[in-house]
Amino acid sequence: MGSSYVAKALAGIFMKISSTQIERRFEISSSLAGLIDGSFEIGNLFVIVFVSYFGSKLHRPKLIGIGCLLMGTGSILMALPHFFMGYYRYSKEINIDPSENSTSNLPNCLINQMLSLNRTPPEIIERGCVKKSGSHMWIYVFMGNMLRGIGETPIVPLGISYIDDFAKEGHSSLYLGTVNAMGMTGLVFAFMLGSLFAKMYVDIGYVDLSTIRITPKDSRWVGAWWLGFLVSGIVSIISSIPFFFLPLNPNKPQKERKVSLFLHVLKTNDKRNQIVNLTNQRKYITKNVTGFFQSLKSILTNPLYVIFVIFTLLHMSSYIASITYIIKMVEQQYGWSASKTNFLLGILALPAVAIGMFSGGYIIKKFKLSLVGLAKLAFCSATVHLLSQVLHFFLICESKSVAGLTLTYDGFVYIIA
């Protein structure tokens, strides 16, 4: 289970840290790159309810294994456009280094026309910066990411229920905390590998690197974004193999096995008939639509469940937004390269999250928290998180001056009437 969490963490972070590279490679707009990134949630949303309901009545380990296979296939599909769309050609009009020139944050269309000083910036923007897709191969990245979202669907709901159902009493919280910590460790490795791949030229192995005149600090640089998806795809496929050999019900402790054997001997014919009927119902579970909608109505009318869903929605929105945009913000605000940004975020932020998840599971097991205790723990941790986020409003960084956007090419500040 931990390996599947590592695999999905690798694929998820590689998508986040490669978004700017994909945007440059396919010459697409930031909004389209955001849509590609969001295709994972689109695929996940399509099937999550059905998988959670019907999957719990089927062979959960095999469904998780199939999900890992789909996730790996989707990741590999995302990398395939690199092998079919030819070599990357960067503009050679000027050489930009973020450490020396503030114009590094300009879009490539502005960089290519900066020498046209006889044009006003609005004319340049109108003629050169209406960004259109340079290649339609991004559709395969979109489809692969959506397939990855579909494949990841059974891992969390079915995996958590599988552990919770068959773990010893009081141990499930520790197991779940350990699994989540392993997932966060996967995030750290993803950032480290992402930093390494961002330093590699996109066409590494296909072109003579001595002929490449740009460096990772150049705004036109595109790293080996596709390598991350190949690695995560292979890891996902490998992690799927053990799930196909897991039993429907894992081995229980010795006492429970004796009790189960004793009860099995005492079963009457009526009880055996009920088991046969239950097996037949599993074969025709897709016809049980009425039960599905009844279960859906039951949870949607449960106030406690609705409150928890709202809390999770707000929490995950903050988390996803931070992971998605903090990389690009740091690159543009501080002029860092993608590799440096990925490396620092990986070694500074994510280990603390992994420690928090592991310690959370330990606290629950140590103090044997009840449902109310769990709610109090979640409330306290969410409050601390909120207060730490509020502190960011007092850490105001001065916006970086960018020629053509906040400054004229002669160095004068724009005055907006």
CATH number, domain of 91, equals 1.20.1250
Sign of CA dihedral 173, 175, 181, 186: negative
pLDDT tens figures, 87-100: 888 776 544 444 44
Q: Write out the two tokens for 409.
A: 């090419």
Contact 75, 232 (CB under 8 A): yes
Flag whether 400 is in a domain.
no
52: containing domain: 2-257+288-365
- What integer pLDDT is reported at residue 109 of this predicted model? 47
Flag whether 37 is in a domain.
yes
- What integer pLDDT is reported at residue 140 of this predicted model? 92
Sign of CA dihedral 203, 205, 207, 209: positive
What contacts 332, CB < 8 A, 6 or more positions away?
A: 105, 400
- Give the residue with greater pLDDT, 313 vs 261: 313
Name the pLDDT band for 124 (thresholds 50, 70, 90): very low
- What integer pLDDT is reported at residue 182 of this predicted model? 81
Q: Write out the two tokens for 73.
A: 């296939």
Flag whether 131 is in a domain.
yes
| Total number of domains in the chain | 1
* 143 has a pLDDT exceeding 90: yes
Flag whether 382 is in a domain.
no
How far apart (Å, rounded) are the C-alpha atoms in residues 341 and 348? 11
Averaged pLDDT for residues 59-83: 91
- Give the residue with greater pLDDT, 1 vs 276: 1
Averaged pLDDT for residues 112-131: 44
- What integer pLDDT is reported at residue 298 of this predicted model? 84
Q: 30-39, 113-122, 200-209, 343-352: which range is least confident on average?
A: 113-122
Looking at the DSSP assignment, which residues form a beta bridge with residue 407?
403, 413
Flag whether 401 is in a domain.
no
Looking at the DSSP assignment, which residues form a beta bridge with residue 59?
none
Average pLDDT of the chain is 75
* 274 has a pLDDT exceeding 60: no
Averaged pLDDT for residues 182-208: 84
* 400 has a pLDDT exceeding 70: no
Name the pLDDT band for 249 (thresholds 50, 70, 90): confident
- Classify burial at 246, counting beta carbons within 10 Å of its beta carbon; exposed 0-12, middle 13-18, buried 19 or more: middle
Averaged pLDDT for residues 202-208: 84
Residue type, 13: I
Q: Write out the two tokens for 95.
A: 């050489």
* DSSP assignment letter at 106: S
Q: Write out the two tokens for 160.
A: 């958590």
* 106 has a pLDDT exceeding 60: no
Contact 263, 109 (CB under 8 A): no
Contact 331, 337 (CB under 8 A): yes
Name the pLDDT band for 70 (thresholds 50, 70, 90): very high
Q: Write out the two tokens for 278.
A: 């239950």
Name the pLDDT band for 161 (thresholds 50, 70, 90): confident
Flag whether 339 is in a domain.
yes
Flag whether 246 is in a domain.
yes
Flag whether 353 is in a domain.
yes
How far apart (Å, rounded) are the C-alpha atoms in residues 167 and 177? 13
Element (H, E) at 259: helix 254-265
